[in-house]
Structure 1
Amino acid sequence: MSTKISKWPAGTPMWVDLSVDDVEAAKTFYTGLFGWDYLSADDEAGYLLAQLNGHAIAGLGPKDDPAMPSAWTTFMASDDVNATAERIRESGGQVLMAPFDVMDSGRMAIAADTTGAVFGVWQAGNHIGAERVNEHGSLCWNELHTSDYAEARAFYAGVFGFNYHEVTGADMVYATCLRDSDRREVAGIHHDTQIPQSDPAYWLTWFASDDVASTAARAQELGATLLVPVSDTPFGRMVIVEAPQGDVFGVIAVAPAND
């Protein structure tokens, strides 16, 4: 278990939020699965902070566009969102939502990388992002799934200064992203050959579980589908879940780590 009380270093995936059609149904699902409770962010859009034991875990809110699929969005920490947005453009990405202030919580932007994956950028104000990680029901990892592995690596190196560590022996092409400030592994990039050529890349959110098999069974009881069944991998026991509204996430058993 790790509790965070200060802002996350730049380049760290430090927050995830969910956009869905039916926020109440999503609340019911994730409370049933992970035991989350919720706090209103006091904005007009109806955004909620999911919590565990009083610590912020993730965000939930209604979609801006009902035609878009339900999805989790990964946010990267930045010391200067405006500068990060400029680097995104210089590296060939798109700034889909220009930097703007979110009351006194922070400043944010939404972007797409050069392989089509959408992600957020967050400059902390009063809201630092996830306050609890690497424990049951909390964020523990974020990884990019892309069919253009080399292009993605070049983009994130240009924007966030990532270096990479190639992971071998896992029967896949995979690299971990090393944070520029301290070379700590903070994310992954997976060369996913299953993505149709016409589909964009995507960031997959992973939550920790004390018992992956039980979490998977509970997800099914709550109406979810297992896209990848419970499996033992070199990274730990894991499962990939599609929630009733179509939002996809991974669940994995992980050892606690300091941040």
Structure 2
Amino acid sequence: MTEHTLKTIRDTFFKQRLVLDTNLLDSEKHMIQADTTFPIQGYLQVVDHLRFTLKERSIANCNTWYACVDDIQLLRNGQVLHDLQSSAQKGHGTSELCRRPPIIWDPSPNFSSRNGTPIRRIILHCTTIDLVTSVLNWFHHPESHVSAHYVVARDGKIYHMVRDADKAWHAYGENADSIGIEHVANVHEHLSPPQEQAAITLIKWLMSEYKIPPYAITGHRFSPSHQEDTTCPHHLFGDETEAALRAWVTKNLS
């Protein structure tokens, strides 16, 4: 008789839905320690996750879960299978779009409800200051009345400050259906190499997660309904023109 077993190789979340960990309710995810094994009776790889059904026990009264394939091994009769392929191994194409980069959860109190409005686009920003600690501290202050969903630092670290399901306050008049991404830089700086790579990976993940087409990636000043006098995102993508931003999107995200 063939026995299939799932083994965690690092601490990871088992998830009831295939979305970002930070967008799940506490009741929809369960932290599993490394080197824990579970007999399973069925499985299916879905992009960079494995959907599986537990055989002998449930977790939180649920038998079917998702786990990131980078965090688990699949065994048949005690032997490791190599059927699972991580998004990093698959290379380019749809699977690459779904690769989730490392993200640091650092919540801001500045957010509100989307009131059911679906996410349709991504708005890119430049912080205008080049110290990530200053940006994070400002977004932590309730009196600042500003925030972004993500902040990408010069060294490539990504900070997640507002859940995607909530409305961050990053572009007045544009917040309801958008995800805002701030890039740490002064007004004259381009993206640094590690920052650019992190931004590309993050945006590709979000595009795949929310079915956002390349034409719906824009800069703050170029978003159609913005109600502020701004030149953001400044020189992040070359010169300050929309053509420079569109060329960057075409090169890296199309």
Structure number with greater CO (CA < 8 Å, separation at least 6) is 1
Structure holding more strand per residue: 1
Q: What TM-score results when the alignment is normalised by the length of structure 1?
A: 0.28
Q: TM-score, normalised by structure 2?
A: 0.29
Q: Which has the larger radius of gyration?
A: 2
